[in-house]
Amino acid sequence: MDRKSRKLPLGGAGASSSGAGVQTIAPAGSFDLSALSDAIWHLCCSIRLALILILLIAVAAFVGTLLLQAPGGLSAQDHAVWLDQARLKYGAWTNLLNALQFFEVFSSVWFRGLLVLLMINVTACTVNRWPAMWISISRPRVRTGDGFFRQSATGTCIDASGLSMSEAAESLRSLLAGRRFRVLTERTERAVHLYADRNRYGKLGTFLNHASLLLLMAGVIIGSVFGFRNTEFVIPEGSVRDVGFGTNLSVKCESFIDEYYPDGPPKDYRSDLVIYENGAEVKRQTVRVNEPLDYKGVRFHQAFFGPAAIIEAKDEAGQRLFHDGVALAYESAQRPVGSFVIPERGLMVVVVGPMSGRQDSLVGPGEVRLEVYQELTQTRVASDNLSLRESKTLAGLSFTFERERQFTGLQVVRDPGVTLIWIASALMVIGLIMVFYFPHRRLWARCQPGADGQTEIWMAAITRRDLPFAREFQFLTNEVRERLGIGRRVPDV
């Protein structure tokens, strides 16, 4: 049989009874799982995919910055009130933007999905690059061809007449080691090859940066899924509000004080807060800007303040249905607005305060306006103005405006991913320092007989985008000549 033919044995002595050695060919149209997994892997390692994901995340962040974002932790009723306020600005687009979760971009399902996809992409790229990167660090290529020395912009040939290859190589190795280079040598019959590098572990800084990105995104996802952020948590003076989110915490604002300098700028504003857990007091503290209260990972930051009204509502029998402070934390037609619900009657009461710093024809100084709505249909059933300590009957209920107070506005945050974010920040800084302050610098050298039989040293380095190393390499080649006591210099190649 012709030696070039490769026919598959179908039987006889060359074939086993089990069919070993017989190649099986997948039938046409069969599913190739290996090809599919390779395609998925190459997609996950794609730099183009990474750029697309980063662009989409940047666009999403821009949208989240451009559009108003709903505070976290709003009840369905409060969210509906917030949407009504947003509708004044975005009009007919409000419902569409809300359906697309554009009012809660950073906690939306699709934004978390983009982060997860980017995490998968970064992980795949890192795993894909690691073997080659580690080989270049631990087992670099020592020998290189003539083309590298002759075509390199730094290629230099030094005449080492009078020295053997071994003597020239040892002198060069000693010089490079004294310059804190790691030097590897490899001998062949015709030459001694040297490889030298410095800061080889600086290349790992890119992996620290990748790890920091993964931890950063993981921290953001963990914080958005298992944490919460309520940027509009308001408590009138003397009132108690539940934090919610399964914390079993409630907060009382005992007092709020705002102070100003004689010429008008704010001097200080602070809230005296009491924290209750399951109804029992567990902590109290005066909270200022940049002086938050922290309890079991839940932080209370002083954010803003405004007017509040103490309202009492009674039914026909004189039974009290509501008695609390109402924070006028929203704004409608340049007036401060707040609301509360009387669930026994299915009513929502909107409290409107007077305009600040200007004459108001609807609500006078020292007054509030009550507007009573059916909670389900949002139909207004009654409205009237109340002066201080005045009582009026609206929708069959007696309402009293007892006094004016202030409310404190807090930002309440629990972020279990913040530790990961701090670790990620530290890794990012360390990685950048390793990459930019400890760049991996490499050079190759070869000691070999020249055309006249005398030893010559070829040297070249990778100095692309590394001007300091290019200068150092020139100094290094001059130092080699001085060290070897070479009088005649072969022109640089």
> pLDDT tens digit string along 225-243?
899 988 889 999 999 999 9
> pLDDT tens digit string along 277-296?
999 999 999 999 999 999 99
Instruction: Please tell me the distance from the alpha carbon of residue 152 to that of residue 148, in angstroms, as a whole number.
Output: 6
Number of helical H runs and strand E runs in the chain = 10, 20
Structure tokens that stand for 140 in this block: 């670099």
**Beta strand pairing call for 455-461 and 347-352:** unpaired
Under 8 Å between Cβ of 253 and 272: yes
Instruction: Please tell me the distance from the alpha carbon of residue 192 to that of residue 196, in angstroms, as a whole number.
Output: 13
Tell me: pLDDT of 27 over 70.
no
Instruction: Please tell me the distance from the alpha carbon of residue 453 to that of residue 445, in angstroms, as a whole number.
Output: 18
Q: Tell me the three state secondary structure of residue 68.
A: coil
DSSP summary character for residue 164: -
Mean pLDDT confidence for 207-226: 93
> pLDDT tens digit string along 142-185?
999 889 998 898 889 998 888 899 999 999 999 999 999 999 99
Which of 247, 246, 236 minimizes the C-alpha distance to 277? 247
pLDDT tier for residue 11 given thresholds of 50, 70 and 90: very low
In the chain, what are the domains?
35-130 (no CATH), 144-199+439-484 (3.30.310.80), 228-414 (no CATH)
pLDDT for position 301? 97
Residues pairing with 234 in the sheet: 409
**What distance lies between CA 433 and its chain's CA centroid?**
20
DSSP summary character for residue 299: E
Tell me: pLDDT of 485 over 80.
no
Contacting residues for 388 by C-beta, under 8 A, at least 6 apart:
366, 367, 401, 403, 404
Structure tokens that stand for 179 in this block: 């310059």
pLDDT for position 277? 97
**pLDDT above 90: percentage of residues in the chain:** 71
pLDDT for position 36? 87
Which of 436, 441, 437, 435 minimizes the C-alpha distance to 462? 441
Under 8 Å between Cβ of 358 and 352: no
Dihedral over alpha carbons 23, 29, 31, 37 (to 10 degrees) = 90
Instruction: Please tell me the distance from the alpha carbon of residue 477 to that of residue 158, in angstroms, as a whole number.
Output: 8
pLDDT for position 450? 86
pLDDT tier for residue 87 given thresholds of 50, 70 and 90: confident
Tell me: pLDDT of 444 over 90.
yes
Contacting residues for 265 by C-beta, under 8 A, at least 6 apart:
none
pTM: 0.73
